[in-house]
A and B are shown apart, each in its own frame.
Chain A
Amino acid sequence: SAVISQKPSRDICQRGTSLTIQCQVDSQVTMMFWYRQQPGQSLTLIATANQGSEATYESGFVIDKFPISRPNLTFSTLTVSNMSPEDSSIYLCSVLGYSGELFFGEGSRLTVL
């Protein structure tokens, strides 16, 4: 299994500001992902964080809004830029284990006023 630490666990932000969420894994992993979980909705994949190259974004998500860094195999950051109330959500980091199981961090709950 993989132990994933995310921070901050929650934050309240002002409209127009940006927030960076950090994800630290206790072991080296190849596949690392960022998800969004809006209230009452299913998890939605934002992007795959690629080590040493640009992230792969899903339809509806762009790098300017959600820049991602992956400097090594154990760490990644997701920035939510120029936030609006519609960005209020839980953001989850996840990694793919060798068995094909997907492990999730505890999530970062973001509230934008």
Chain B
Amino acid sequence: KNQVEQSPQSLIILEGKNCTLQCNYTVSPFSNLRWYKQDTGRGPVSLTIMTFSENTKSNRRYTATLDADTKQSSLHITASQLSDSASYICVRGGNNRLAFGKGNQVVVIP
């Protein structure tokens, strides 16, 4: 079983709408939770990094939340744009190791 589970696996949304992506991680110790955006054919780019003491962090229209008690994180995309079409990867950091989720594939349509 993967240490980081993301849902939904894929999502289609209309331009201008909001969406929320979920991430559950199962392994401790935990030191940080990261979200990356990976455009098709490109490398992942960091969106947010949160430590266990932070429960929300924003980067433009992206807002990540973290509940260290339930080991859950979410990434909320506000007023989606066509350029938001990408894979969003949740990454748990801890014990000098990173565990990657498989990603949420988001497609924004006009």
Tell me the A residues contacting B by CB distance below 8 Å. Answer: 4, 6, 40-45, 92, 94, 100-107, 109
Contacts and interface: CB of A to CB of B under 8 A. Distances in A.
User: Across chains A and B, which 8 residue pairs bring their CB atoms closest together, nearest first?
Assistant: A104-B43, A42-B100, A43-B100, A42-B102, A106-B43, A104-B44, A107-B43, A105-B43
A75 B46 CA distance: 22
B60 to A, nearest CB: 16
Contacts of B49: 100-101
Given A42-B2, A100-B49, A101-B49, A92 B101 contact: no
Interface residues of B, number: 17
Centre residue among B34, B41, B44 by max chain A CB count within 10 A: B44
A43 B89 CA distance: 9
Given A42-B4, A42-B89, A104 B101 contact: no
Nearest to A33: B98
21 contacts: A4-B43, A6-B43, A41-B102, A42-B4, A42-B89, A42-B101, A42-B103, A43-B44, A43-B89, A94-B43, A100-B32, A100-B49, A102-B34, A102-B46, A102-B98, A103-B46, A104-B44, A105-B43, A106-B41, A106-B43, A107-B42
A40 B102 contact: yes
Given A42-B2, A42-B4, A42-B89, A104 B45 contact: yes
A107 B38 CA distance: 11
Nearest to A94: B43
Contacts of B43: 4, 6, 92, 94, 104-107
A101 B46 contact: yes
A107 B43 CA distance: 6
Nearest to B43: A104
A73 to B, nearest CB: 20
Contacts of B4: 42
B39 to A, nearest CB: 10
